[in-house]
Amino acid sequence: MHRVVLREIEPARALELKAQLVRDGLIMHVDFKWEYHPAVWDGFTRKRQKHVMFSFRNPALATFYQLKWA
């Protein structure tokens, strides 16, 4: 799988991007997978940024959407 990671993205925007992939004809769990990760805090510092990760089976699709969403 070829990954595209978008950092500091809100959950609603991540859902919009997932819906865009489906509208473009891609099939979830066949052509791509996705996962949203909220920010993680330890009380003083942020350990991990919020981000969404899309994993594509086809490397050309990963490159296309990486460029499109950049």
Q: Encoding tokens for residue 33?
A: 């997978």
Q: Encoding tokens for residue 2?
A: 């070829």
CA gap 38, 49 in Å, rounded:
7
Which residues, at least 6 apart from 17, have a Cβ–Cβ distance to it below 8 Å?
6, 52, 54, 69
Amino acid identity at 34: W
8-64 pLDDT per residue, tens: 999 999 999 999 999 999 999 999 999 999 988 877 776 788 999 999 999 999 999
